[in-house]
Amino acid sequence: MSLKIALTKGRIEKPVMELLTAAGVDCEPLKNKKRKLIIDTSDDEYQFILAKGPDVTTYLNSGVVDIGIVGSDILTEHRNEQYELLDLEIGKCQFVLASTKDFEINKEGRRVIGTKYPLITQRYFESLGQDVEVIKIEGSVELAPLIGLADAIVDITETGTTLKENNLFIYDYLDKVSTRFVVNRMSLKQKAREIYSLVDKLENVIQNKKLIK
């Protein structure tokens, strides 16, 4: 029985492929996928689909894939309902509150916050006892305080380059983020042996990477 895996496309694709390859998964068809949307490994043990992070959770919840490889930012924002079995310890980044130089963090009045993560943002400001207006933005969130759409943003940062190049400053650090291996509950019952076999191999690779560091 092949395992169907939804993999988040974009910046984690490469490190995930490296990890899977080290765990013995044949990732050559994935590397050479061109415009193909469904990619089978040559031994037919695995079938991959590449999707946007929020769609990975949709596929997982509907049961059309067994496994999702997706960031903890997406899992928190979309209230993950499935089993998170592994922290792959890649795609590491962090949520921050950021804005322009003149932003006054303790100023009176209702702030406008731009973000791709409205739930996480609301929770953060609730924890501070502050009422804010949250505006959902789909991408390039850093634009919001620069063009006057929002007072500040809540977004993830990895290298800090985007903030720096746009003269934005960090005012607070929120949760850390990393890539997780999540399994559909029903699949875990039906394909337990195959899933745990892959989990064991990945765990070994992750532990070995730590030893080498």
Binding site for ligand PRP (CB under 6 A): 139-142, 155-162
Residue 67 or 156 with smaller CB distance to ligand PRP:
156
Residue 60 or 177 with smaller CB distance to ligand PRP:
177
Residue 130 CB, nearest approach to ligand PRP (Å): 22
Residue 161 CB, nearest approach to ligand PRP (Å): 4
Residue 71 CB, nearest approach to ligand PRP (Å): 9
Residue 127 or 161 with smaller CB distance to ligand PRP:
161
Residue 38 CB, nearest approach to ligand PRP (Å): 24
Residue 25 or 96 with smaller CB distance to ligand PRP:
96
CA distance 207 to 46: 23
Radius of gyration in angstroms for the set of CA atoms belonging to the chain, rounded to a whole number: 19
DSSP string, 98-135: EE-TT--TT-SS-EEEEES-HHHHHHHHHHTT--EEEE
Residue nearest ligand PRP (C-beta atom): 139
Residue 6 CB, nearest approach to ligand PRP (Å): 17
DSSP string, 131-156: -EEEEE--S-TTHHHHTTS-SEEEEE
Number of H helices, E strands in the chain: 9, 11
> By CB neighbour count within 10 A (0-12 exposed, 13-18 middle, 19+ buried), where does 208 fall?
exposed
Residue 80 or 157 with smaller CB distance to ligand PRP:
157
